[in-house]
């Protein structure tokens, strides 16, 4: 079974020949991994990663326009002034070069399943407002926020469609909604503002017959029903260190969506506790022994993780993935 086929079997709620594996390892450990293995790509090949996370494409707003506006107003951008910002052209094909190269390397040459990071709504606009100001704006500018979100959502849809045209297998929407104990805003606000704007991209992806995944750090337990209603096939990371339970997901929702995750970077890997690391990896594989998991880190492995510990973890992951 090819890696891509293996991942698709899991997303379609069938059990493949073994659990697909991956990890967000390169962002903080590129130099260390390259010194030990030759390159991050060589590390991915050694452990026979089944899927790949692609980055690239244009940003929503031209960076120079954002900086000019900040300079002109002499302070933070608010929703009223942000409506004057021009949007980037989502159809600028040259901006997708990294995605094209990633598809060639991972999908065409190695047979991997490829998914591409695309903007969400709340997280994407934190770059304009700053997260604390953004949260205040929700109460101060409700009408303007809805229009800003709509513009972002329409742009996101165009971006996602271009990525599907290039050949990605799954659109991965990144939108951090959670804190360690719950949403950053009320479930009612999520339903009135996040849901309809996520639906714009979600419906378009589903109409194309492609897969759809969501990334949200933190605890999103209160909106799981809405995530299901939107049609997300995969949810990353289902963060146990923020009060999310993998066993509960497996019991209650595994027939609706699968989890991409299992290796918690906040509590498990990178702390030199190898016995604990081993037991946690084994526990996760045991929960999903009959399928339903795309094994992955919950976020980027941090730079306090040694190469020895990373090797220890993925030696075990590789073994357990193929055991059952």
CATH number of the domain encompassing residue 70? 3.20.20.210
Q: Which of 108, 103, 28 is nearest to 297 (CA)?
A: 28
Average pLDDT value over all residues in the chain: 97
pLDDT tens digits, 37-61: 999 999 999 999 999 999 999 999 9
Is the pLDDT score of 207 beyond 80?
A: yes
Q: How far is CA 124 from CA 59, 61, 165, in A?
A: 9, 10, 22
pLDDT tens digits, 131-175: 999 999 999 999 999 999 999 999 999 999 999 999 999 999 999
pLDDT tens digits, 64-90: 999 999 999 998 899 999 998 999 999
pLDDT tens digits, 98-128: 999 999 999 999 999 999 999 999 999 999 9
Q: What is the pLDDT of residue 210?
A: 98
The tokens describing 77, both together, are 């951008």
Which residue range forms the structural domain that includes residue 59? 3-323
Kindly give, in sequence order, each residue whose CB lies less than 8 Å from that of residue 15, ignoring residues fewer than 6 positions away. Answer: 9, 290, 291
Q: Indicate the pLDDT class of residue 269, thresholds 50, 70 and 90.
A: very high
Kindly give, in sequence order, each residue whose CB lies less than 8 Å from that of residue 130, ignoring residues fewer than 6 positions away. Answer: 76
Q: What is this structure's pTM? A: 0.96
Q: Is the distance from CB of 171 to CB of 160 less than 8 angstroms?
A: yes
Please state the length of the chain.
324
Is the pLDDT score of 305 beyond 80?
A: yes
What is the number of structural domains in the chain? Answer: 1
């Amino acid at each position: 079974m090819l890696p891509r086929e293996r991942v698709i079997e899991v997303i379609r709620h069938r059990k493949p020949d073994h659990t697909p594996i991956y990890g967000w390892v390169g962002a903080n450990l590129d130099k260390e991994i390259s010194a030990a293995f030759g390159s991050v790509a060589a590390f991915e090949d050694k452990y026979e990663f089944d899927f790949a996370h692609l980055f690239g494409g244009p940003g929503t707003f031209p960076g120079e326009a954002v900086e000019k506006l900040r300079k002109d107003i002499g302070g933070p951008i608010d929703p009223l002034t942000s409506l004057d910002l021009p949007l980037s052209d989502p159809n600028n094909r040259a901006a997708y070069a990294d995605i094209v190269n990633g598809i060639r390397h991972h999908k065409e040459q190695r047979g991997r399943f490829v998914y591409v990071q695309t903007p969400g709504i709340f997280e994407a606009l934190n770059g304009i407002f700053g997260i604390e100001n953004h949260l205040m704006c929700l109460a101060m500018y409700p009408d303007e926020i809805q229009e800003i979100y709509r513009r972002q959502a329409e742009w996101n849809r165009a971006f996602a469609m271009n990525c599907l045209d290039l050949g990605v297998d799954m659109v991965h929407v990144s939108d951090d909604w959670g804190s360690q104990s719950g949403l950053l805003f009320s479930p009612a606000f999520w339903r009135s503002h996040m849901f309809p704007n996520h639906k714009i991209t979600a419906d378009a992806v589903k109409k194309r017959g492609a897969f759809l995944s969501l990334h949200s750090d933190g605890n999103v337990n209160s909106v799981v029903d809405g995530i299901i209603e939107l049609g997300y096939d995969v949810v990353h990371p289902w963060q146990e260190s923020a009060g999310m339970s993998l066993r509960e997901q497996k019991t209650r929702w595994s027939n609706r969506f699968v989890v991409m995750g299992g290796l918690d970077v906040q509590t498990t890997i990178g702390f030199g506790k190898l016995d604990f690391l081993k037991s946690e990896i084994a526990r996760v594989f045991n929960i999903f022994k009959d399928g339903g998991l795309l094994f992955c880190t919950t976020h980027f492995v941090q730079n306090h993780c040694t190469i020895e510990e990373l090797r220890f973890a993925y030696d075990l992951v590789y073994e357990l993935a193929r055991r059952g």
